[in-house]
Chain A
Amino acid sequence: MNYQWNWSIFSSPVPTGETTYLGWMLSGLQTTVTLSLCAWVMALALGSLMGVLRTVPNKWLSGFASAYVEIFRNIPLLVQLFIWYFVLPELLPFGLGDAFKQQLDPVTQQFVSAMVCLGFFTSARVCEQVRSGINSLPRGQKNAGLALGFTLPQTYRHVLLPMAFRLVVPPLTSEFLNIFKNSAVCSTIGLLELAAQGRQLVDYTAQPYESFIAVTLLYVLINVVVMGLMRVIEEKTRVPGYIGGK
């Protein structure tokens, strides 16, 4: 192995000259973070809704929610991404698909497909966490809510969910970390996020080790920042008296 290390590549300008290779790397980081945060918001909203539906007494609604979870959990993320990106625009009715393909610029198309894909994929996992949070509450709480004259939606809104959401914060931390890692899969449809920028750097500079080390460190950095952030949120939302509640 006689590899020529050259860390100065990061400060050298890219062929088009408008930025340095470090600039590429940072724009990739920015895309990864934006994509993951947008998808996370979507996953939280959809996942909470589905998680509630999985626990309601209505057989049709809970059946629908569990089918939803099974579909998104049993198809590989890469296949789901390709279906969102290559298949769905072909099948959308009323010319929506054509509008998507012709009027949006390619970067927006990639970003939207990636966000929707990650959002749905993660929402199935969030759903399972929310469901187990709701199910872990003593059954008496729901009955007490109903006995006080709350309707079922009111019981969920005022009694069950405020408690369940605080209980699921720790397990949601790992899903939040996963969404950043899973976003790397989106490099396969050409979205220039962090991993894709890393590969692009290898093609342009022929310095694979520097580039991959930088990308790996940036992912580790994301991980550390998210864990720190979630630790603060976990402290704030911890329920006294519960396991881990101290």
Chain B
Amino acid sequence: MNYDFDWSSIPGALPFLWDGMKISLEITAIAVAFGIVWGTLLAMMRLSPVKPLAWFAAGYVNLFRAVPLVMVLLWFFLIVPQVLRSFFNLDPNTDVRLTSAMIGFALFESAYYSEIIRAGIQSVPKGQVAAASALGMSYAQAMRLVVLPQAFRNMVPLLLTQAVVLFQDTSLVYMSALADFFGAAYKVGDRDGRLVEMLLFAGAVYFVLCFTLSQVVRLLQKRMATL
């Protein structure tokens, strides 16, 4: 090994990297929140007796799951700016990359969340829905008061694991030259000619964060299993 490591460009770059991390976390938070809400709706549509709704949800989920995230992001970086501009009369120079990324991730992840949530809803015994309707509850009430609270409780570990995956995937906004954490690390490394150190540093940071969260998920699973 004859490579001379020089880690000195990291301390000075920390504020810039932190700004990048905030963008990564922001995209993750928006996509998780939106993904769970829209994913729940999709899952309920898919399980509903109204056929067109079920077909729509199945088509949506299967389409997004068949296409690589890279391709989905390319689509959204292409379409969202045009749509936003034609609706809101934006100045052509407004930077909408962050919005495009958020919309892209949110719609893409909803497909994955909806599959998790559908499995969660199906894990609640059917007798409970029957019992709820025997008590005079409407379908919506049975869902809201009986099925979903239990389903979500069972799903918490899977939802969190998906959030970790999503956080890792946000590094792909690098393609739009948006300075998320990875983009920021790459830019600093490229500027200082220290790409090797910055890439290793970025990898280490992602590892620590994701590993910690996945250990938390594991603990949670253990505690839930004993309850």
**Which residues on A are within 8 Å of B, measured CB to CB?**
1, 70-71, 73-80, 82-83, 86-87, 90-93, 180-185, 187-188, 195, 198-199, 208-209, 212, 215-216, 219-220, 223-224
Contact = CB atoms under 8 A, between A and B. Distances in A.
A104 to B, nearest CB: 19
Most B C-beta atoms less than 10 A away, residue of A82, A83, A185, A219: A82
B69 A181 contact: yes
B3 A91 contact: yes
B211 A74 contact: yes
B68 A87 contact: no
Contacts of B211: 70, 74
Question: Which 8 A-B residue pairings sit nearest by Cβ, starting from the closest?
Answer: A184-B68, A76-B168, A74-B210, A184-B70, A181-B68, A223-B66, A76-B171, A78-B171
Given A74-B210, A83-B203, A91-B3, 13 more contacts: A71-B207, A75-B203, A76-B182, A77-B168, A79-B202, A90-B3, A184-B69, A184-B71, A188-B175, A198-B71, A198-B74, A209-B78, A219-B71
B74 A212 contact: yes
30 contacts: A1-B86, A74-B207, A75-B168, A75-B207, A75-B210, A76-B172, A77-B168, A79-B171, A79-B206, A83-B199, A83-B200, A83-B203, A87-B199, A91-B1, A93-B1, A180-B68, A181-B68, A181-B69, A183-B68, A185-B68, A188-B175, A195-B71, A209-B78, A212-B71, A216-B67, A216-B75, A219-B66, A219-B68, A220-B66, A220-B67
Nearest to A220: B66
Contacts of A215: 71
Contacts of A91: 1, 3, 196
B18 interface: no
A198 B175 CA distance: 14
Interface string B185-227: 0100000000110011011001100110010000000000000
Contact of B71 (A82, A188, A209, A216): A216
B1 A212 contact: no
B78 A195 contact: no
Nearest to A85: B199
A189 to B, nearest CB: 11
Contacts of A220: 63, 66-67
Interface in B29-71: 63, 66-71
B169 interface: yes
A160 B174 CA distance: 44
Given A216-B75, A220-B66, A75 B82 contact: no
A237 to B, nearest CB: 24
Most A C-beta atoms less than 10 A away, residue of B67, B164, B211: B67
Given A208-B78, A212-B74, A219-B68, A76 B214 contact: no
A87 B3 CA distance: 10
B154 to A, nearest CB: 19
A182 B68 contact: yes
B42 to A, nearest CB: 19
Contacts of A83: 199-200, 203
Contacts of A223: 66
Contacts of B1: 91-93
Contacts of A183: 68
A199 B82 CA distance: 18
Given A195-B68, A215-B71, A1 B207 contact: no
A80 B203 contact: yes
A223 B61 CA distance: 14
B29 to A, nearest CB: 17
A86 B196 contact: yes
Most A C-beta atoms less than 10 A away, residue of B63, B66, B169, B186: B66
B169 A76 contact: yes
Interface in B136-171: 164, 168-169, 171
Nearest to B168: A76
B74 to A, nearest CB: 6
